[in-house]
Amino acid sequence: MERKELEQVSGVLLDEESELSLSELCRACGMPAERIIALVEEGIIEPRRGAAQWRFSGICIRRVRRVYTLERDLGVNLAGAALALELLDEIERLQAHLAQLEERHKR
Protein backbone atom coordinates (compact mmCIF):
# COMPACT_ATOMS: atom_id res chain seq x y z
CA MET A 1 0.00 0.00 0.00
CA GLU A 2 1.35 3.39 -0.99
CA ARG A 3 1.80 5.95 1.77
CA LYS A 4 0.87 9.52 0.94
CA GLU A 5 2.33 12.38 2.87
CA LEU A 6 0.15 15.25 3.91
CA GLU A 7 1.24 18.77 3.12
CA GLN A 8 0.90 21.20 5.99
CA VAL A 9 -0.38 24.64 5.12
CA SER A 10 -0.24 27.56 7.50
CA GLY A 11 -1.28 31.15 7.25
CA VAL A 12 -2.92 34.08 8.91
CA LEU A 13 -6.65 34.71 8.74
CA LEU A 14 -7.28 38.30 7.68
CA ASP A 15 -10.65 39.99 8.00
CA GLU A 16 -12.17 43.44 8.23
CA GLU A 17 -10.50 43.98 11.62
CA SER A 18 -7.00 43.14 10.35
CA GLU A 19 -4.75 45.99 9.28
CA LEU A 20 -2.01 45.98 6.70
CA SER A 21 0.44 48.67 5.68
CA LEU A 22 0.90 49.52 2.02
CA SER A 23 4.07 47.42 1.86
CA GLU A 24 2.35 44.46 3.56
CA LEU A 25 -0.55 44.66 1.10
CA CYS A 26 1.93 44.81 -1.80
CA ARG A 27 3.72 41.69 -0.54
CA ALA A 28 0.47 39.81 0.13
CA CYS A 29 -0.82 40.53 -3.38
CA GLY A 30 2.49 40.38 -5.23
CA MET A 31 2.02 43.85 -6.69
CA PRO A 32 4.07 47.04 -6.69
CA ALA A 33 2.95 50.05 -4.65
CA GLU A 34 2.12 51.98 -7.84
CA ARG A 35 -0.45 49.35 -8.74
CA ILE A 36 -2.07 49.49 -5.29
CA ILE A 37 -2.14 53.29 -5.47
CA ALA A 38 -3.94 53.06 -8.84
CA LEU A 39 -6.56 50.81 -7.21
CA VAL A 40 -7.04 53.37 -4.43
CA GLU A 41 -7.40 56.17 -6.99
CA GLU A 42 -10.01 54.14 -8.87
CA GLY A 43 -11.95 53.56 -5.63
CA ILE A 44 -11.51 49.79 -5.73
CA ILE A 45 -9.85 49.69 -2.32
CA GLU A 46 -9.86 52.32 0.38
CA PRO A 47 -7.28 53.02 3.06
CA ARG A 48 -8.59 53.42 6.58
CA ARG A 49 -9.28 56.93 7.76
CA GLY A 50 -7.30 58.72 10.42
CA ALA A 51 -3.95 56.98 10.09
CA ALA A 52 -0.84 59.01 9.29
CA GLN A 53 0.18 56.30 6.81
CA TRP A 54 -2.18 54.23 4.71
CA ARG A 55 -3.57 51.17 6.48
CA PHE A 56 -5.79 48.65 4.71
CA SER A 57 -8.22 46.06 6.00
CA GLY A 58 -7.50 42.39 5.32
CA ILE A 59 -10.49 42.35 2.95
CA CYS A 60 -8.50 44.49 0.51
CA ILE A 61 -6.36 41.47 -0.37
CA ARG A 62 -9.42 39.68 -1.73
CA ARG A 63 -10.48 42.75 -3.72
CA VAL A 64 -7.01 43.27 -5.21
CA ARG A 65 -6.79 39.61 -6.22
CA ARG A 66 -10.27 39.75 -7.78
CA VAL A 67 -9.23 42.77 -9.85
CA TYR A 68 -6.13 40.94 -11.02
CA THR A 69 -8.27 37.95 -12.04
CA LEU A 70 -10.76 40.15 -13.91
CA GLU A 71 -7.94 41.87 -15.78
CA ARG A 72 -6.06 38.67 -16.56
CA ASP A 73 -8.99 36.43 -17.49
CA LEU A 74 -11.42 38.91 -19.03
CA GLY A 75 -9.20 41.78 -20.15
CA VAL A 76 -11.19 44.24 -18.03
CA ASN A 77 -9.65 47.67 -17.34
CA LEU A 78 -9.63 49.25 -13.85
CA ALA A 79 -12.92 51.11 -14.35
CA GLY A 80 -14.56 47.90 -15.55
CA ALA A 81 -13.08 45.97 -12.64
CA ALA A 82 -14.43 48.57 -10.19
CA LEU A 83 -17.92 48.17 -11.67
CA ALA A 84 -17.66 44.37 -11.68
CA LEU A 85 -16.62 44.37 -8.00
CA GLU A 86 -19.59 46.59 -7.10
CA LEU A 87 -21.91 44.16 -8.85
CA LEU A 88 -20.27 41.13 -7.22
CA ASP A 89 -20.58 42.81 -3.79
CA GLU A 90 -24.26 43.50 -4.44
CA ILE A 91 -24.84 39.87 -5.44
CA GLU A 92 -23.19 38.72 -2.20
CA ARG A 93 -25.38 41.11 -0.15
CA LEU A 94 -28.52 39.89 -1.91
CA GLN A 95 -27.56 36.24 -1.42
CA ALA A 96 -26.97 36.85 2.29
CA HIS A 97 -30.31 38.63 2.58
CA LEU A 98 -32.06 35.81 0.74
CA ALA A 99 -30.46 33.24 3.06
CA GLN A 100 -31.77 35.20 6.08
CA LEU A 101 -35.27 35.31 4.62
CA GLU A 102 -35.20 31.59 3.87
CA GLU A 103 -34.03 30.86 7.41
CA ARG A 104 -36.88 32.92 8.88
CA HIS A 105 -39.35 31.19 6.61
CA LYS A 106 -38.23 27.76 7.90
CA ARG A 107 -39.09 28.70 11.49
Q: What is the pLDDT of residue 62?
A: 92
Sign of CA dihedral 89, 31, 77, 79: positive
**Which pLDDT belongs to residue 106?**
87
Per-residue pLDDT of the chain (107 residues; tens, 9 = 90+): 566 777 765 555 566 678 899 999 999 999 999 999 999 999 999 998 776 789 999 999 999 999 999 999 999 999 999 999 999 999 999 999 999 999 998 87
The CA-based angle 46-95-63, given to 5 degrees, is 25
Per-residue model confidence (pLDDT) at position 72: 94
The 8-class DSSP code of residue 53 comes to: S
Q: Go through the domains of the chain in sequence order and give each one's CATH number.
A: 19-106 (1.10.1660.10)
Assess contact for 61 and 29: CB atoms under 8 A.
Answer: yes
For position 18, what pLDDT does the model report? 80
Predicted local distance difference test score (pLDDT) of residue 39? 96
The radius of gyration computed from the CA coordinates of the chain, to the nearest angstrom, equals 18
Indicate the pTM of the whole model: 0.74
Kind plus residue range of the DSSP H or E element containing 19:
strand 19-21
